[in-house]
Structure 1
Amino acid sequence: MHITRSKSLFEKAKNFIPGGVNSPVRAFRAVGGDPIFIKKADGAFIYDEDDNEFIELINSWGPMILGHNHPMIKEAVIKAMENGTSFGAPTAREIEIAELITNMVPSVEKIRMVNSGTEATMSAIRVARGFTGKDKFIKMEGHYHGHGDSFLISAGSGAITMGAPDSPGVTKGTAKDTLLAPYNDLQAIENLVAANKNEIAAIILEPVPGNMGLVLPKERYLEGLRKICDREGIVLIFDEVMTGFRLAKGGAQELFGVTPDMTTLGKIIGGGLPVGAYGGKKEIMEHVSPAGPVYQAGTLSGNPIAMAAGLTMLQYLNSHPETYLELNQIGSKLITGISNSLSKLGLKYTINHIGSMYSLFFTDKEVFDFTSAKNSDTSLFGKYFQAMLKRGIYLAPSQFESLFLSIALTDDLIAKIIQANEESLKEIL
């Protein structure tokens, strides 16, 4: 594998772009080496600037459920572009996709389109505050809700300590209203609620977090959060930017049978184009301007090209429920093969897996929150990543990112991934 052009592009990029990349994880710092610059993608494959071919298991961090460059999505985009790329005005297609989403997602009665997951989560918190008249909110350690100031918060000392800024540029004033709790710990939530009685507007979490690696909710955890929020008048927000329309037509909330008050969405609703959205109960969403007093706007929100791609994707998923069975079967085949190799070689490992998402942790301990995820062997993961890359398998360049599968993965490709996995494990031992 030659990566001459990627190396030269990275050196050039560092002269004009901070760190040479437009999103930090792309820099490969967590796994070593230099990033691969991608030229094109098709189906289950991506191709770099040196024309190397990779089977990839990221799928643009989730949205490419049908594989890359799907002809149906491409056709919808090209057709929409014939009428123009942006209007900054309402279009009929915005109504179509809004109606479809409200039919598919249990919690969403009304929805507002934005341009990114970060916009969606920032707006959802603002609306929850406006609806409840309260200022504070609870987020979980290791859950990523975009780069809004109030989300970039690390833990203080103890379960009921207010957060401290986790990034320069985030003020202490912003941090004081963000409360932090470990994921999968209902007692920590109870403690925070008791210590901040009648001050908490919302609890926001990824119901199935994918930004500390994939971690699954413990039994009755999501139900427990729902009960606390009902009792205390707190808005429960599920960040389903990753899991929405991927784990089921109605996302994780459908799969686990727990309905939040608000939901944030992204990725898949753009069919691969930049889109985000937030929605929820009618009485909450009626607080959003111009219907209500909570201001939120966006010139490119509901962009016609993105709406065309997203509507085509969602219409397909809604009319082909067998897609989820296929995704689950692909995930099960792949995980079974990878697990067999790990066990045969005697490696300590944990695989967290649900449907078409999974993470491999090099630890024999259960991974159920951010602390347990950080206890895995990240150095070994970096070696594993490079060994897989050398064999033409492109993984997420971080231990703390979930992998995402697509229906473009055939049995032959799954077999190649399993073989590359075993060869890579033998190499790094």
Structure 2
Amino acid sequence: MTDQRDLIARAARVLPGGVLGSHRSGPDLEFVVRDARGPYLWDADGKRYFDYLLGSGPMLLGHAHPAVVEAVQKQAARGTTFMLLNEPIIELAEEVVRAVPAAEQVRFMSSGSEATFFALRVARAFRRRDKIMKFEGGFHGTHDYALMSTSPRSPKAFPAAMADSAGIPHAITEEVLVAPYNDLATTEALLAAHHHELAAVIVEPYQRVIVPQPGFLQGLRAVTQRYGVPLVFDEIVTGFRLAYGGAQEYYGVVPDVAALGKVLAGGFPLAAVAGRADIMRHFDAALEGSPDYVWQAGTLNGNPVAAVAGLATLAELRKAGVYQKLFATGTRLRDGLAALARRHGMPAQVSGEPPVFDIIFTDSPIVDYRATLTADRRRIALFNEECLKCGVVKAVNKIYVSLAHSDADVDATLAVFDAALAAVAARTT
């Protein structure tokens, strides 16, 4: 087998930064995945890791789930992509309509960024307006309209937007208004002033690991309805994770349009826009040539391999007791981490819902993005580094829990968290 150090060196020569995106493990901590099963990863040198990154969320069942593997293998032998209607994708669309409260019709694409991009495009076509309102700190993918005020170190006064990436035309910042998450009064005031120019309001109903305050989503739904502005839920993370019907079911608030991905396809490249039929009709190719038509197409859209992976995943999630198990595992891990932080005397908040949460090193309650700016970034980086050294992989700012994680896995992970917090305390106090 190829030596891991050699693989990392080869990656550095042909991949910018030697990585696949923004996720970096840190100096001397990069590794190459050789195998993954259940809640575990193995690197090219054979070291095993507890996986709480889960491919950035899609692997809710764990890696290489037998039902998903079997479905994919069978479909691959019958064809992998057609760019034409096929039975698996029709069945998956029907299941999305049954599961997701907002879904009357569904349009498929290949990534979460595409889903939010086209959710906003179809909203602009429906409203015949250009501007979008989003919430500071919310992440909606990597297209130009999404990468606005996602992680500003020095935020501007609302509603001014700040581009998060080089290469985004300055003109786009003028098309995006930014509101404070969990601040309904300010959001209402901004909508009152700007509703006439807004195509949509897009929100992560559960923003990163910040839980919506009681009444916030309900109030946002009411004020957008009052002004006739479509409300878009970005459920790329929350869809099929917080509940089978996603955040809409979990929080009891139904938007006009939802963007779905990650869990939807069980680890394969597939995402969707789902929503009201009168909005979704703008995707109908019969309208081509009219001012109402929204052009959306993609070579791999609706491919049957991703569709059968999604169908197999959703079938597992419909089984009795599945979400109770997920929440029990997540609650035990989340509350255990919070208890350890208190025991080590660390100023920290363990923020989020049981299936996905994180530790944030601050005394401030985490109610919005600006509260996260009070966090000790060095401690966050050290905690992640110490976890990885001890064989626990997590996202930079999230801990994803899977149905494959057992009680024994949680015990072992909490032991790693304990050691990591001790190391952080020793290096920073």
* Structure-1-length-normalised TM-score: 0.93
Q: Is the Cα–Cα contact under 8 Å of residues 102 and 110 in structure 1 kept in the other structure?
A: yes
Q: Cα distance 1:374–1:231, how it changes in 2: closer, same or farther (>3 A)?
A: same
Work out the CA distance in 1 between the residues paired with 2:407 and 2:280. Answer: 44
Match of 1:287 in 2: 282
Of residues 408, 416, 423, the one that matches 2:419 is 423
Work out the CA distance in 1 between the residues paired with 2:40 and 2:162. Answer: 42
Question: Is 2:403 the partner of 1:407?
Answer: yes
**Pairs within 5 Å for 1:63-74:** 63-74=58-69
Q: Cα distance 1:157–1:125, how it changes in 2: closer, same or farther (>3 A)?
A: same
Q: State, as a whole percentage, how many aligned pairs show the same letter.
A: 35
Aligned residues: 415
| Offset at residue 381 of structure 1 (A) | 1.6
**Pairs within 5 Å for 1:3-402:** 5-25=3-23, 27-28=24-25, 32-154=27-149, 157-161=156-160, 163-210=161-208, 214-292=209-287, 293-318=293-318, 320-396=319-395, 398=396, 401-402=397-398
Q: Is the Cα–Cα contact under 8 Å of residues 259 and 272 in structure 2 kept in the other structure?
A: yes
Question: For structure 1, which segment, 132-141 or 10-19, has the greater mean C-alpha deviation from structure 2 after superposition?
Answer: 10-19
The code of the aligned residue for 2:314 comes to: L
The code of the aligned residue for 1:301 comes to: N
Look up the SS of the partner of 1:47 in the other structure: strand
Q: Cα distance 1:8–1:372, how it changes in 2: closer, same or farther (>3 A)?
A: farther
Q: Is the Cα–Cα contact under 8 Å of residues 350 and 358 in structure 2 kept in the other structure?
A: yes
Q: Is the Cα–Cα contact under 8 Å of residues 205 and 237 in structure 1 kept in the other structure?
A: yes
Question: For structure 1, which segment, 172-181 or 334-343, has the greater mean C-alpha deviation from structure 2 after superposition?
Answer: 334-343
Work out the CA distance in 2 between the residues paired with 1:96 and 1:372. Answer: 43
Q: Cα distance 1:231–1:389, how it changes in 2: closer, same or farther (>3 A)?
A: same
Look up the SS of the partner of 1:222 in the other structure: helix
Work out the CA distance in 2 between the residues paired with 1:216 and 1:322. Answer: 24
Work out the CA distance in 1 between the residues paired with 2:5 and 2:193. Answer: 52
Q: Is the Cα–Cα contact under 8 Å of residues 265 and 277 in structure 1 kept in the other structure?
A: yes
Could you report, residue by residue, the CA deviation over 1:186-207 in whole angstroms, capped at 9, with x for unpaired residues? 2222232233241111000110
| Offset at residue 340 of structure 1 (A) | 2.1
Q: Is the Cα–Cα contact under 8 Å of residues 110 and 285 in structure 1 kept in the other structure?
A: yes
| Offset at residue 353 of structure 1 (A) | 2.8
Work out the CA distance in 2 between the residues paired with 1:20 and 1:402. Answer: 22
Could you report, residue by residue, the CA deviation over 1:299-337 in whole angstroms, capped at 9, with x for unpaired residues? 21011110110011112212x141100001101111232
Look up the SS of the partner of 2:422 in the other structure: helix
The code of the aligned residue for 2:25 comes to: F
Q: Is the Cα–Cα contact under 8 Å of residues 121 and 239 in structure 1 kept in the other structure?
A: yes
| Offset at residue 291 of structure 1 (A) | 4.6
Q: Cα distance 1:159–1:353, how it changes in 2: closer, same or farther (>3 A)?
A: closer
Work out the CA distance in 2 between the residues paired with 1:172 and 1:335. Answer: 41
Look up the SS of the partner of 1:201 in the other structure: strand
Q: Cα distance 1:249–1:175, how it changes in 2: closer, same or farther (>3 A)?
A: same
| Offset at residue 374 of structure 1 (A) | 2.2
Work out the CA distance in 2 between the residues paired with 1:287 and 1:281. Answer: 11
The code of the aligned residue for 2:382 comes to: K
The code of the aligned residue for 1:390 comes to: K
| Offset at residue 159 of structure 1 (A) | 1.6
Q: Cα distance 1:143–1:7, how it changes in 2: closer, same or farther (>3 A)?
A: farther
Work out the CA distance in 2 between the residues paired with 1:7 and 1:141. Answer: 39
| Offset at residue 258 of structure 1 (A) | 0.2
* Structure-2-length-normalised TM-score: 0.93
| Offset at residue 33 of structure 1 (A) | 4.2
| Offset at residue 5 of structure 1 (A) | 3.9
| Unaligned segments of structure 2, at least 5 residues | 288-292
Work out the CA distance in 2 between the residues paired with 1:177 and 1:69. Answer: 42
| Offset at residue 15 of structure 1 (A) | 1.6
The code of the aligned residue for 1:179 comes to: L
Q: Is the Cα–Cα contact under 8 Å of residues 122 and 279 in structure 2 kept in the other structure?
A: yes
